[in-house]
Structure 1
Amino acid sequence: MTDLITLSDEVAAARAGAQPVVALESTIITHGMPYPRNLATARAVEAAVRAAGAVPATIAVMGGRIHVGLSEAELSHLAQAEDVAKLSRADLAVCLAQGGVGATTVAATMICAARAGIAVFATGGIGGVHKGAEDSFDISADLRELAETPVTVVAAGAKAILDLPKTLEVLETQGVPVIAFGQDGFPAFWSRESGLPAPLRMDTPEAIADAHRMRAALGLPGGQLVANPIPADAEIPASTLAPLIEQAQAQADARGITGKAVTPFLLQRLFELTEGRTLEANIALVLNNARLAARIARALMA
């Protein structure tokens, strides 16, 4: 795999010096928000990781190689690039083989991070079981990846547009530890509470790091999902979002939107229906997750 991976100078130095590193996905840059807000957010998330004592490693595919850590020029180029592929487990190898440019989702970022020896990854929210999946079978590859790839993923739960009870059920079936950080309830992305209990609770980065190590000692496959609630001053209550999510989902169904197109459509409609509040909340929770991931990465190196 080293023949396929290019480490940035900063990440290479951190790996050589046994310093903590946090993986970051790139779809938030290419598919999450428009330029130049996407570039400013990417810089802010990397800065949050550094301020918390770790090295950020934003991951993307460029020129047939996995880039782990992006230079300022590469980050700026990616933020303005058009027709960037959105890569998950099914697309990653094809994009690499064809020498394409791709942004990594949760699943693809986990694969690349593990191959690069990075154990902690910060994102916004994971994918999961879509509403109506009993008919569409629309279930994110993120759930399978969490069951197979040994990376601790820090997210604000699963995206609130999903069927959260079914998402938690699949994670349980797959044997994935779902750990709420500092509370008993499972967070719902833009909201601190989903109304669902979290299977596990931990209150310190050190406890999460210990659990990561123990899974490796037991030879258990897969990683951990750390559900980190959005800061209270940035959240949008679930009661406010629920009718808007139903409205957006009905519009998606009426237009026949399916597969990978569903999530970006719903997120865009919610951005419009909340007059931009969901985007501001999204940025706040990603920064919050980056800070916690850095603390966990530091604890793993202790």
Structure 2
Amino acid sequence: MTKVIELQGNPSLPKIFARAVATSRGRHGKGGLPDIQVVRRGVQVDPDALADYDHVCGFALREQLPATYLHNLVFPLQVTLFADKSYPYPLMGSVHLDNTLTVHRPILLGEPLDLSTWATNARPHKSGVQVDVVSQAHVGDELVWEGLATYLYRGQKIDGDVPERAEEAEAADGAGLIWRLSGSLGRRFAAVSGDVNPIHMNSVTAKAMGFPSTIAHGMWSQAAMLAAIENRLPDAYVATMSFRKPVLIPGTMRLVAHETAGSWDLALRNNRKGTVLVRGEVAPIS
């Protein structure tokens, strides 16, 4: 039987993060994924919080919620799941590999949202174990938004064969938008998202975790890339982002966006080296 954790309000993310981190050492991937669903009902978006988020990510101020803001709303549910004592994998050292967002129709400020999150599909990866975290948003009985976040737990083990990586076409390249990202970006996004992972906020901690400098949040990258084409997005679409390499800040990046028949091929590159940092696709839902 599914265990349901129902949140009555927006939890304190720093406290949940601290609990999840403090218990990371004792989590060794044994026992399989728990049958747990974290839910929060009747969520009303704070217009001021949305405006602050839009400002940091580059979205226009309007009544329609960005797809990535829905991820912002379910992220506390995800961390609550990770902090539960039955969740087998440690938060410390985990990596957000991919993020797919499905918008079934425009979601408007003022609509009450019922949110839910659960984990599924633990499988081997060459560097450990990857898990899909599924999230949904309903307005009444209507499914309006879905999220699929794939996390890698490095050094963990699970039975099964590591699948071969499928061949793919070259990422979009050429001229694009030049973004000069400041070293304060991680702290500013943490303030509007609640994601207080110190690798995004403090260069000392980032270096201790093996990064040469502070790194931007993956969800900032996805948000900013979608914001750049916001006025060209359809009412219903699927947006997939693959976080290939860290976006080091401060730094200068180049966003390349190619459109073909209503679909987008996106790439965020290091402007000097040309390295693909984030690769994305957006496809309309008919």
TM range (shorter): under 0.3
**Larger helix proportion, structure 1 or 2?**
1
TM-score (norm 1): 0.24
**Larger strand proportion, structure 1 or 2?**
2
